[in-house]
Chains A and B, each alone.
Chain A
Amino acid sequence: MDPGCLNGCPVLAYEKDPVTGIVRHLDDQCIGCQYCVMKCPYEVPRYSARLGIVRKCDMCTQRLEVGEAPACVQACPNEAIRIRIVDVAETLSIFRPPESPARNGHKNGTSGVDGRITFNPFLAGSPNPRITVPTTRYKSAINPDVMLVAADAAALRAADPHLPLALMLPLSQLSAGTMAITAQLGTPAHLKAGTTAALVVMAVALGIGTLHLGKPLRAWKAFLGWRKSWFSREAIAFGLYLKVIAALTALLWLKPDLLPENARPTAFGFAAFLGLVSVFCSVMLYVDTRRRFWSFGRTCGKFFGSTIILGLAAGTVLNPSQGVWTSVVIALIAKLALEFEIFTSLKPGGHFELRRSALLLTGHFRKLSITRLAFGVSGGLVVPALVLAGLLPMNPFTGLVATSLLMAGEVCERVLFFAAVAPDKMPGGITT
């Protein structure tokens, strides 16, 4: 009843029929961003590589309209599927009962902690129904108190690494971090170099980000869903931020006189603020999918952590100092500590969903996890230590080396962010 796909779509490519409640997809509106795929806990929208868009089941609306059985109803040899109009109030009262509002997490939801399955009023072993209030009813003669576990409960599936996004996000955060430290530094030379760098990096970030879209030529519509979609909000913030730093860069290079000295802190401070708003929108985009590995704390820590580390790294290029090099070390250690928190889920009692991510990180993605650590440590500990010990020159070139290493580490971290997410899903068959 509260469809994740529709709520997340940045281009309003979903329509909910006011009478039947059927959610339909507008194929020619879709930009192929696949955010609905992330938003839907039930894997209903599927990306079509052939078309570059997402498609989803519309319950054979065209057949239903003329009183014909949908394809699934017709195909099921056991006549197990029936489609009818549901009671809205009743459905809401089951999945979002009055005593615990929707935001209040997973308490009554889904697979619980290790060794214990909490009762799921929707279907044993399925995602938390509070998220979207699904209207499907699974009726069975099997006693609902019987503990049922999905056949693939122990299976680990690597998710799509979304490489364009895994590059775009750290780059945009490098830009925002650079802009923030530039605004802090404030001298004309720093402003010119820093803002220009932030602009170039952001432009590259968005260029790469576009590669993620199946239909990039329709991307201009991405603002349409601003009222509900964090994807739209991110797109608007990114666009605004890019335009502001582009304008500032143009002014600095072409007509610096038009930007009076006393207006500069405000102007560049605003640009830096827009950069941070962009990062926040990115954070919320993933938090809104309600995946535990992408929780507010973890995603904030990663995205703002990248912003701080990469911003400080930019500082070592723009204005190297003992202080900024030391800050890099502290920021990196803090961020690695945050990232390592996931491995506490491996202990008995860890939540299934997080445990799966941790197992993927230590198993399937072991090499990439080690690579991530190696890049981080070399760029954020080894190089700074050598600089601080006087073994490496404290100059912009050394800063650039550290920044590159740190950037590589953040990209690895972001690939893992996408590939190791393992949300609860509908129970599946034996997975080999």
Chain B
Amino acid sequence: MTTPVVIPQASPLENAFRAFNGAMTSELVQSPADFGLGHAPARLIPDATTTVVCGFCSTGCGLNVHLKDGVAVNLTADPSYPVNLGMACPKGWEALTPLDAHDRGTTPLMRSDSETLQPTDWDTAMKMFCERFKDIQTKHGNDSVAWIGTGQIAVEEFAFLGALGKFGMGMKHGDGNTRQCMATSAVAYKESFGFDAPPYTYADFEQSDVLVFIGANPCIAHPIMWQRVLRNPNKPEIIVIDPRCTETAMNATQHLGLKPKSDLVLIYGLANMLIQNGWIDRNYIARSTTEFDAFAEFVRQFTPDTVAAQTGLTVGQLYRCAETIHHGKAVSLWWTMGVNQSHEATRTAQAIINLALMTGNIGRPGTGANSITGQCNAMGSRLWSNTTNLLGGHDFKKPEHRAKVADVLGISEDRIPQEASWAYDQILAGIDSGAIKGLWILATNTAHSWINQKSVRETFAKLEFLVVQDMYPTTETAQLADLYLPAAGWGEKEGTFINSERRYGLLKKVRRAPGQALSDFSIFRLIAHYWGCGDMFAKWSSPEAAFQILKQLSAGQPCDITGIEDYPMIDRCGGVQWPWPSQMPDAGCRMPDAERRLFADGRFHTPDGRAKFIFEQPRPVAEPTTPEFPIVLLTGRGTSAQWHTNSRTGKSAILRQLYPANVYVEINHDDADRLGIEPNSPVEVASARGRITATAFVTGTVQPGTVFMPMHYPETNKLTFPAFDPYSRQPSYKHCAVNLTPL
């Protein structure tokens, strides 16, 4: 007999003593909320809704913001948006919460003689900004002032920033935190395809029959993209190439758990195996590529045995992977930071591109060599930040490009520099060498996120004037500022973001910024006025007016968007992918297809129209392990509830419940046993640059001899080693040597 479970019902007498209703009960009583939202509690019933593209990662989800008297009170994932189809990750669901944080900046703050930042008004702040920077430029030359921007503000905003900084204020050097995430992909695509053009659309996740993820963990880093993978009806083979057994690797059909930073060797080995077995698309290679023969000759040295030895994999694993790619009808290859943040990142990304080219897996549904971007507007930054590229993917070095931009903007051509800016690390080195004396940082947290963080703080101490423009004056970087400018956040301003699949999405103002905080766009207008170059930017009267200028700049470029009429069109279409030129072949149909990919015709943006095989001999890592520091430290994203330096996600009580409060280090069981480290005990992690204390998390997901630490905690980058890819100048966060000691 199964033990019966008897729940006694209350007797009528007992029921007389029970309060079924009252004030507390009615707090949660729901009523229909309209707008297709279903039932909701009274305080959350909206009177209107509108779609806003999310401001965290590059997936670019549509969030349906619920408005009450014009103010956002809640949000849900938008089921009609083509990106996320009604889904959102924890960050998206909590997108409004960081706006309400008690430590929002509400006035400009300046450091006079005192140690602390003191509130001031915009007039004083703007005068200080202009006087100090002009003073430095007078003494040390125009190039002695630089900026470090971000991938978190709107397209119109960093186009304005780039134009103002270079054409208005005469700066030469400006870069963004996108250097830390996407620079590699930009350089790789540019060299291989002739333009920084990620070819894919998210539908490819659903249309592949083989998906290869290299240094990518979408389960955690891009959960909505992973959700698209889960919708794939083809029972796809999922191959994950990652030294860690990540959440994505656990869901893979093949996990190649290679040794850290042996990825380039592995991919060359796979290429060789494909060539040796004749598993390549000779027609496509002949029609659409160049340099294949040299490449084939080059990869002959990567024999299965040498590759197996160098990667720690078996020949069988390699063969099975190559064979799977060969059998795939639509193979897509995806990479993220595991590739991009490497000492040989650009060549690794290009090795992936080579795999796609040689197997003809490009330009068809479900294919592509696809870089998954990091920040919400990293793609926008690549085209519009006016740092490495002249506005709109143009080239500072080309006179015809300078002339075109000068003409559209109505400025004199000689205001446009003839070469690109220094990269992020070069700007910091410039501060060290004394070449740069004034720095303006926007919406990024260098003092937390930069590789080998300690050196950054020492570097900033050498500056004569540091301005930080951010939502919060409490970030590690803002705390070092001489002048802090309070910026409006996502949801408090207008503009566009470009997501990973090249989709322009619309950002809308659904909240008022607190106190005197202003949108970055308005701050730039203010600076232009105080600097005395307001006339030059008279046409930049609003984000949408700026968008119209950018459209003109894009004309004739691979990223042409002249066919996008205005913001309402972007809204109507659920975002619009570039390119969308006004002379589109299927013009007349004014609504672009919801999902479009590039290179269907096998023509690329290079002068000869062919994609190029680019390759180079692999190089050893910058900081190999030593007897003193025998363990490899990998860093990366910790949970889907954390975003970068946690300046925003740390403000949500709900998100805080979803991730560990303090820094931890993932250690393999074997290492823990050998070193006497107990689970959940404190452990010291030391590198040649610093030592920190973290909680040991003993797990089988990291290999013996490696440890993993999430990047969201301020301790992590005290340990990392400042190595850079020579082509993209992207920092190599994924490899440095450390030691562990139980405490």
Q: Contact residues of A with B, CB < 8 Å?
A: 1-3, 6, 11-13, 16, 26-30, 51, 53, 60, 62-63, 66, 68-69, 74-75, 77-79, 89, 92-93, 96-98, 101-102, 133, 151-156, 221, 224, 227-228, 429-432
Contact = CB atoms under 8 A, between A and B. Distances in A.
A78 B2 contact: no
B283 interface: no
B24 A102 contact: no
A6 B27 contact: no
Contact of A430 (B22, B76, B664): B664
Contacts of B30: 62-63
B93 A75 contact: yes
Nearest to A28: B22
B640 to A, nearest CB: 8
B568 interface: no
A12 B14 contact: yes
B678 interface: yes
Interface stretch (B125-133, B399-407, B655-663): B655-663
Contacts of A102: 3
B1 A98 contact: yes
Interface string B683-709: 000000000001101110000000000
B636 to A, nearest CB: 14
A66 B664 contact: no
A151 B697 CA distance: 8
Nearest to A430: B660
B1 A29 contact: no
A432 B639 CA distance: 14
Interface string B217-251: 00000011011001000000000000000000000
Q: Which of A78, A96, A102 has the most CB atoms of chain B within a 10 A radius of its CB?
A: A78
A224 B23 contact: no
Contact of B38 (A69, A92, A97): A69
Nearest to A101: B3
Interface of B: 1-3, 5, 7-8, 10, 14, 17-25, 27-30, 38-39, 76-77, 86-89, 93, 223-224, 226-227, 230, 639, 658-664, 678-680, 694-695, 697-699
A130 to B, nearest CB: 9
Contact of A51 (B7, B24, B89): B24
20 contacts: A2-B5, A2-B7, A11-B18, A27-B25, A27-B28, A28-B24, A30-B24, A74-B86, A77-B226, A77-B227, A79-B230, A92-B2, A96-B2, A221-B17, A224-B10, A227-B8, A228-B8, A429-B660, A431-B660, A432-B664
B224 A77 contact: yes
A133 B660 contact: no
A315 B699 CA distance: 57
Contacts of A92: 2-3, 5
Nearest to B223: A77
Contacts of B664: 430, 432
Given A28-B25, A60-B39, 4 more contacts: A74-B86, A78-B226, A155-B680, A429-B658
B23 A28 contact: yes
A276 to B, nearest CB: 28
A152 B5 CA distance: 32
Contact of B2 (A12, A63, A97): A97
A93 B2 contact: yes
Contacts of B89: 77
Contacts of B17: 12, 221, 224
Nearest to A70: B38
B527 to A, nearest CB: 40
Contacts of A153: 679
Contacts of B223: 77-78
A79 B93 CA distance: 15
Nearest to A103: B3
Contact of B227 (A26, A74, A78, A93): A78
A156 B681 CA distance: 10
Nearest to B698: A154
A198 B18 CA distance: 34
Given A78-B227, A221-B17, A228-B8, A26 B76 contact: no
Given A62-B29, A430-B664, A133 B5 contact: yes
Nearest to A132: B5
A227 to B, nearest CB: 6
B679 A154 contact: yes
Contacts of B639: 429
7 closest Cβ contacts across the A-B interface? Answer: A28-B22, A154-B679, A27-B24, A68-B38, A432-B662, A28-B19, A154-B680
A66 B39 contact: yes
A136 B352 CA distance: 43
